[in-house]
Amino acid sequence: MKKYFIKTFGCQMNVYDSRRIASVLQRLGFGEASSPRNADLIILNTCHIREKAAEKVFSDLGRIEQIRQERAAEGLSTTIGVVGCVVQAEDEQIAKRAPYVDFALGPLTYHRLPEVLAKIGRAKGETVIDTEFPAESKFDFLPQNTSSDGCSYLAIQEGCDNFCTYCVVPYTRGIETSRPVEEVLKEARALVAGGTVEINLLGQNVNSYHGTDAAGKERSLAYLLNKINEIDGLQRIRYTTSYPADVTDELIDCHRNIKKLMPYLHLPLQSGSDKVLKAMNRRHTSGQYLETIAKLREANPLLGFSSDFIVGFPGETDADFEATLNVVRQVGFIQAFSFKYSRRAGTPAALMPNQIEEKVKKRRLDILQDLLFSYQLNFNKETVGKIVPVLFESRGRHAGQLVGRTPYMQNLHAELGKEFLNKIVNVRVTEATTNSLSGQKEG
């Protein structure tokens, strides 16, 4: 049996895509390899969001080429493929810098993998590239998504029309498209039938979802959440990532009414300065963001928020940065991701004047992260002594240990047998650090 190995970089959408790619390969008769060394087909699923992420692909490709040569010395042939967002942006560079790559497919064309694999034999050493934004939806060509995991991702929306001035996603994932309601529900039911108890609905701008129902009527994310809520056996629902300006009252009501919806929301703010938000082309001010948070808290006082921040956007002054710290203090995020602004070729911000020096970016990031981590640690510490329901998703680093997630997406380790894998278990939290909790099964 031929074997594949897929390495995934980037966001949850890429994790989801890798699963779907694996299902295409399984249909072609491939099995999963435990390491690239024993794989006949090695695929990198790539991320282009920041320079570091994109450059990592080329260093990884160098290592994979070495593996290919080692295998060749043993008479084994290896096919190398690159998929994902870097391909969409840098297909020519891949073919030039890593000519040994057999194929390169964008995030919207991986359903064509069977044809592409067939073509490689005929391509005489050329890299087969497909970075079209196709008219068809890849989802119509993929095998039904099934999973025996307790927690599953489900992509409902892809692409982005927001064009934040720093961001490559509208160029790599294309314009916003939503999958039809019935197609999403069918996938959700199949996942639950396979054993999934938690579904995380994915989209680059998930709350602008506007898929059509069976009658051809456009429906919102709120409508979809209510429908998914009706699936028996499903216990937890999440959705990510939301755009603050697209949080509707109807969506806020979901946090009031849908018990399965977890009390945790990732809502990226990027900056607390209105001047910077405007230069970023974000369609919200910091005041509007805070209002949205207040309305959500009124709907569900138990909600915890997480966010994304960029420091050192072109033109960001000390006062602008201070405004970001201020919003952090007002909201008290329970988790957050923060990044130094990375200049991405082809985006408007790359050409803006007043690019910020690296050492200033670094200093600001350190200050912001200290503040964010202090809230995160406090929140985690407050959990100690409480009993929380944890969905155990994987084995821990030590034997006899499982790792899972609390409703607030905190990682929790516990000494537990593998029979509790993919189950929700009540756990008493015994210890907390900034990044994880430990606990013991209750009862």
Long-range contacts of 344-348 (CB under 8 A, 24+ apart): 344/48, 344/50, 344/51, 344/166, 344/167, 344/168, 346/89, 346/168, 346/171, 347/165, 347/166, 347/167, 347/168, 347/171, 348/165, 348/281
* Smallest separation, CB 142 to ligand F3S (Å): 18
**Between residues 167 and 303, which has the closer beta carbon with respect to ligand SF4?**
167
Of ligand SAH, ligand F3S, ligand SF4, none, which one does residue 163 interact with (CB within 5 to 8 Å by kind)?
A: ligand SF4
Binding residue for ligand SAH, selected from 103, 239, 339, 379, defined by CB under 6 A:
339
The DSSP bridge partners found for residue 81 are 43, 103
Q: How many residues does the chain have?
A: 443
Of ligand F3S, ligand SAH, ligand SF4, none, which one does residue 47 interact with (CB within 5 to 8 Å by kind)?
A: ligand F3S
Buried b (16+ CB within 10 A) or exposed e, 188-201: bbbbbeeebbbbbb
* Smallest separation, CB 274 to ligand SAH (Å): 17
- Closest residue by Cα to residue 226 from 213, 237, 215: 237
Of ligand F3S, ligand SAH, ligand SF4, none, which one does residue 145 interact with (CB within 5 to 8 Å by kind)?
A: none
- Closest residue by Cα to residue 290 from 242, 330, 322: 330
Of ligand F3S, ligand SAH, ligand SF4, none, which one does residue 364 interact with (CB within 5 to 8 Å by kind)?
A: none
**Between residues 4 and 309, which has the closer beta carbon with respect to ligand SF4?**
309
**Between residues 172 and 406, which has the closer beta carbon with respect to ligand F3S?**
172
Contact, 106 vs 132, CB < 8 A? yes
Residues 162-181 that bind ligand F3S (CB under 6 A): 168-169, 172-173
- Rounded (10°) CA dihedral 389, 391, 396, 398: 40
Binding residue for ligand SAH, selected from 81, 268, 304, 404, defined by CB under 6 A:
268
Binding residue for ligand SAH, selected from 112, 344, 364, 413, defined by CB under 6 A:
344
Tell me which DSSP letter residue 250 carries.
Answer: H
- Give residues in contact with ligand SF4 (CB under 6 A): 160, 162-164, 167, 169-170, 204-205, 243
Q: Where are the beta strands (DSSP E) in 17-74?
A: 31-32, 41-46
Residues at the contact surface with ligand F3S, assessed by CB under 6 A: 10-11, 13-14, 47-49, 84-85, 168-169, 172-173, 204
Residues at the contact surface with ligand SAH, assessed by CB under 6 A: 49-50, 166-167, 169, 204-205, 241, 243, 268, 270, 308, 310, 339, 341-342, 344
